[in-house]
Amino acid sequence: MRIAIFHNLPSGGAKRALMEWTRRLAQRHEVHVYTLSTADHDYCDLRPYITHHIVYTFEPLPLFNSPFGRLNQWQRWKDLGRLAVLYQSLAQHIDKEGYDVVFTHPCKFTFIPILNIYLRSPTVYYLHEHFPNQVNRSIHRPYTRSEGVRKILDRVDPLIGLYQNQLRALQDLAVANTRLFLANSDFTLRQFQEHYSAPSALSRYGVNTEQFRPDENTPRERHLLSVGELSPRKGFDFLIQGLANIPDSNRPPLRLICNMQLEQEREYLCQLAEKSGVQMEILTNLNSEQLAQEYRKTRLVVYTPVQEPFGLVPLEAMACGTPVLGIAEGGVPETVIEGVTGRLSPRDPARFAEILLEMLKQPDLLRKMGQNGVDIVRKIWSWEQSTHTVEQHLLQASKAGPN
């Protein structure tokens, strides 16, 4: 097949997944990548695996600082129009090339790219998560403005409705012109299907078991490990609250590894940890090899994001022989098998602390769970299997004709 791939992704799990698929698809098919200048091209770089990497330049309009922040909705609304013009041109370029199928991924501005509206080539979109503007994930932070005041202002602010209504209208058009949607988890699939009746199917991620693998020569250290962007939705505050329920003498340190960070969230977490008596360390910008080594060094990975669509972190930890204590929500229960590769906790800090102590008191069980994780990942979570599933869906879509 001749496959065009589009993305406008930042660093993170979605870009890593795209890199794994791209390098495998390119071994058997002609793959060209189209993207915007606003994407992160260096993280999980696709360019070594392909011959054509076409970048369209886009510069979002500047955003205002307080007290003019509410004008940002106007700026974003104007950007939607500018993106529409750019994506029409890009769609004409792709269609002219006569690809068998176009495999699109999120745009950091609109989630499903507006590009999908204008493509005539058969198009498959990958749901790394359901469109965030259609998901209710409200997380309070003390550094944000008063919730009451904000809600009152939001109700009378016409610019919010202008931008949100236009964004939703464009998303609806893009969905209507997309042949097939692939989702990374049952959780993501259900969220999408609650809003749309478009053709959709499950197509899971995988794990690079050559990179993420156990090493018996690496000693386990006392700290706990959690991984993800330093933002409210990753639930690091819950980890700190949970650890605060453990007596000082038994409380393990917490190490966070973050590829991206919001400075206000970092300050908030550091203050919360200090106030709670939790020893916390934050590492940033680790490459994949360094990340794998961190998985091997910890006794236990703790993973408690808010309504996470899937999360590669538990699978990468399991591939390294490290058990996981995860949150029993979102897509996490689809990877962490209760009592086999780890444990699952409700979003209750006291109960989380109880389960954590139970696990830490049973080192033999931790080792057994770690080995179970290695065996299960190698059996059912390979990128080769994942790519084969994606490949079959792309082939099916290519045979169905234009959108």
Over residues 168-211, the pLDDT tens digits come to: 999 999 999 999 999 999 999 999 999 999 999 999 999 999 99
pLDDT beyond 90 at 403: no
Q: 8-44, pLDDT tens digit by residue?
A: 999 888 999 999 999 999 999 999 999 999 999 999 9
Residue 332 clears pLDDT 90, i.e. is over it: yes
pLDDT in tens, 100-148: 999 999 999 999 999 999 999 999 999 999 998 888 777 888 887 655 5
Quick one: tokens of 165?
Answer: 């209504």
Whole-number Å distance between alpha carbons of 367 and 323: 8
Position 10 scores a pLDDT of 93
pLDDT at 267: 96
Sequential DSSP letters for 281-325: EEEE---HHHHHHHHHHEEEEEE--SS-S--SHHHHHHHTT--EE
- Report d(CA 260, CA 311) in Å as an integer: 16
In contact, 93 and 120? CB cutoff 8 Å: no
Q: Does domain 2-206+383-398 have CATH number 1.10.3730.10?
A: no
Answer whether residue 385 shows pLDDT above 80. Answer: yes
pLDDT at 156 over 80: no
Domain positions in the chain: 2-206+383-398, 221-380
Q: Hey, which bits of 45-121 come out as E strands?
A: 52-56, 101-107
pLDDT exceeds 60 at position 149: no
Cα-Cα-Cα-Cα torsion 179, 184, 188, 194, nearest 10 degrees, comes to 20
Does 2-206+383-398 match 221-380 in CATH topology? Answer: yes
Can you tell me the distance from the alpha carbon of 403 to that of 401, in angstroms, rounded to the nearest whole number? 7
Give which of 193, 189, 187 is closest to 308, Cα–Cα: 187
Cα distances (Å, whole numbers) of residue 399 to 29, 189, 393, 394? 15, 24, 10, 9
Environment class of 357 (CB within 10 Å of its CB; exposed 0-12, middle 13-18, buried 19+): middle
pLDDT tops 70 at residue 376: yes
Measure the CA–CA gap between 73 and 250, rounded to whole angstroms.
48
pLDDT at residue 148, as a whole number: 55
Mean pLDDT calculated for residue range 264-273: 96
Share of the chain above pLDDT 70, in %: 97
Task: List CB contacts of 394: < 8 A, sequence separation 6 or more.
Answer: 1, 3, 100, 101, 103, 124
Q: Average of pLDDT values for 365-378?
A: 97
Handedness of CA 375, 378, 380, 381 (dihedral sign): positive
Select from 6, 9, 2 the least CA-distant residue to 33. 6
Q: Which of 282, 220, 276 is nearest to 246 (CA)?
A: 276
Handedness of CA 114, 115, 120, 124 (dihedral sign): negative
pTM flag (> 0.85): yes
Rounded (5°) CA angle 300-303-305:
170
The confidence score (pLDDT) of residue 146 equals 54
**Which class would CATH give 221-380?**
alpha beta
At how many degrees (to 10) do helices 236-243 and 349-360 cross? 70
Looking up tokens 């059996």 gives 379
